[in-house]
Structures are given as structure tokens and as C-alpha cells.
Chains A and B, each alone.
Chain A
Amino acid sequence: MRSPLAHAALLHAGPVPITAPVIVTWGIMAVLGLGGMALTRRLSLIPSARQAALELIVEAVDSQIRDTMRVEPGPYRAFIGTLFLFIFTANWSMLVPGIEPPTASLETDAALAGLVFLAVIWFGIRAGGVRGYLASFAAPNPVMIPLNFIESLTRSFSLLVRLFGNVMSGVFVIGIVLSLAGLLVPIPLMALDLLTGAVQAYIFAVLAMVFIAQVVGEAKPAATIANEGTNP
């Protein structure tokens, strides 16, 4: 049985091996990027059916950000929306025959979790400056500094393992059932995987929002105190 933790290289670009998940990721990037460009080329004040559908997606993302983070969605829409759309498309890309979702490989999920890790730092610094961001580690009181530091690493790791485990276990179970039972038997399992994929994309985006909202909330008051000069 093939290990779900490693992928065979399909081709080599110089010394860099290129595996199937990388190529599928490029495909999804091309579909999302070119599709987004093509669909938003002729926007008008009186929306067509196509534009109304697009606005529905953006509105849904906006309302989720507003509900979860309790701030105006402007600065976060691009990051959170892209994260959700990419993971959702990646999880549902198994509807195309012969394609395994790239989120079922450890590397893609590690990259996504790393992006969230960096985004937390970026939004924290943007909200409160470097000083405010560092002060957010001492949030309830300075005793928590080591714990907060470890938490910022482990929660990224847990994001990675959660997405990887859920998607990969679905692919794995389908493979096992297919080899045991036959051609049409795993279809209900695939339907369940579509649900899991959608929920996991939503969870990933919500957790990214929660982490960012937390660091923004904690970095801000420290910055305002520092600006007033009362904090030595």
C-alpha cells in the first residue's frame, strides 16, 4: 500500500522534484486566478446574474468575518476569502476523476498553516506596531509569555494536522474501500468527503479569523498606551 505521507516525483525541474499535488495546486491557482480575472472584467453598477452570484460569495465571506471577528471585513477579506476558496476548491477537486486533492498531502497544508502563522504576525504588527505585537504575548500577564509563545507554534501545527488528517483520511478510506469492495461502492463515502471538505475549509478560515482577531485585539490596547507615553 502506498504511504499517504510521501509522494513520488512526476518530473524534475532541475534539482527540484515536482509531485502530483504541486501540479494540481498550479491547476487550481490557474482556474481561480484566471476565472476571477475573467469574471470580474466587466463589472457594472446594475449587476448581471453572473456578477450577482459573485457578489453573493463576497457578501457571504464578509458577513462571516463580521460575525466572527466583530470588525469591518475590509483588511481581512482578501486573505480569508482566498484561504477559504482555495481550500474549498482543493478539497472538491476530487470530483474530477483521477485527481487527488492537494490538501491530502502534508506539504500543501504546511504551506497554508505557515501562511496563517505569518498573517497573524503581519496583522498583529499592523494593528499595534512591533511593540504592540510583542506585548500581545504577555497578554493576561507576563507569566504567560512562554505559554503564549508555544501556543502560537502549536496552533499552527494543529491547523496543519487537522486539515491534513481530515482530507487524507477521506482519500485513504476511499482507496481501501475501492480495493476491497469494487467500483461504485465508495460513492456515499465520497459524498461524505465533500461535506467534510467544505466544513474543513470553513473551519480553517474561521480559525485563521479567530487567531488574527485575538492578536489584533491584544496588540491594540498596548499600542495606544505606548503612544500616550504612559508605558515605560
Chain B
Amino acid sequence: MNWLALASILAAALAVSFGAIGPALAEGRAVAAAMDAIARQPEAANTISRTLFVGLAMIETMAIYCLVIALLLLFANPLLR
């Protein structure tokens, strides 16, 4: 195995692991804020949870981008052809 493949595998693992940190923290904060809002104003729970789901999916996209980069590195790496 040449060093380019080794570097690609390492970079893919690093991209996923470090790319998951930010979205995890952000999702925690978003859910905490939504819980707080629902506890204060239970009648708005429908709107809040709908917006929360949309927001969570947007945040999650950042981690998904990292996953796609990792998969590109592993399966469609232009340097390894």
C-alpha cells in the first residue's frame, strides 16, 4: 500500500471524527433551547418541534458533508487511479 492510500484513509477517518464534533455540540444546544422554549410555552410545542426538526437536519448536513468527503476519499479518489 503506498503512502497516498494511507494518507487518504487517515484523512477520511479524521474528516468524519472531527466533522462530527461541531454538529454534535450544535444539535445539543438546539435541542436544549427547544426544550426550554417548550417548557416555557407548551402551547407552541407544534411550531417549535417542526422548526427544530428542520434546524436539526440543516445542522446534521455539516456532518453529512464530512461523510461525503470521506467516501470520496475512499471510493472515488482521483489521486489513486
- Cα(A199)–Cα(B64), bound, Å: 15
Tell me the number of A-to-B contacts counted with CB atoms below 8 Å. 40
Q: Are A165 and B54 in contact (CB under 8 A)?
A: no
Main secondary structure of the interface of B (DSSP, over half): helix
A204 to B75, CA, bound (A): 26
Which residues of A lie under 8 Å from residue B60 when comparing CB positions? 166
A5 to B78, CA, bound (A): 13
User: With the chains together, A3 CA to B75 CA distance in Å?
Assistant: 6
- The answer to whether B54 touches A203, judged by C-beta atoms less than 8 angstroms apart, is yes
| A interface residues, how many (CB within 8 angstroms) | 16
Which residues on B are within 8 Å of A, measured CB to CB?
Answer: 53-54, 57-58, 60-61, 64-65, 67-68, 71-72, 75-76
B72 to nearest A CB, angstroms? 7
The docked-state distance in angstroms from the alpha carbon of A169 to that of B64 is 8
Contacts of A203 in B (CB 8 A): 53-54, 57-58
Q: Would A169 and B72 count as touching, CB distance under 8 A?
A: no
Is A162 interfacial (CB 8 A cutoff)?
yes
Contact B68 A199 (CB under 8 A): no
Contact flag A4-B57 (CB < 8 Å), given A162-B64, A165-B64, A169-B64: no
Contact assessment for A3 and B76 in the assembled complex, using a CB-CB cutoff below 8 Å:
yes
Q: Which residue of B lies closest to A169 (CB)?
A: B67
24 contacts across the A-B interface (CB closer than 8 A): A4-B71, A4-B75, A5-B71, A5-B75, A5-B76, A6-B76, A158-B61, A161-B64, A161-B68, A162-B64, A164-B68, A165-B65, A165-B67, A166-B60, A166-B64, A169-B64, A199-B53, A200-B57, A202-B54, A203-B53, A203-B54, A203-B57, A203-B58, A206-B54
A161 to B65, Cβ gap below 8 A? yes
CA distance A161 to B66 in the complex (A): 11
User: In whole angstroms, what is the CA distance A181 to B76 when docked?
Assistant: 27
Which A residues contact B (CB, under 8 angstroms)?
3-6, 158, 161-162, 164-166, 169, 199-200, 202-203, 206
Q: How far is the CA of A50 from the CA of B67 in the complex (A)?
A: 42
Residues of A within 8 A of B76 (CB): 3, 5-6
| Closest chain B CB from A151 CB (angstroms) | 15
* A165 and B57 within 8 A (CB): no
Q: Which residues of B contact A5 (CB under 8 A)?
A: 71-72, 75-76
B75 and A165 contacting across the interface, CB-CB below 8 Å: no
Instruction: Give chain A residues whose Cβ lies under 8 Å from the Cβ of B57.
Output: 162, 166, 199-200, 203
**Cα-based distance from A164 to B64 in the complex (angstroms):** 9
CA distance A4 to B65 in the complex (A): 15
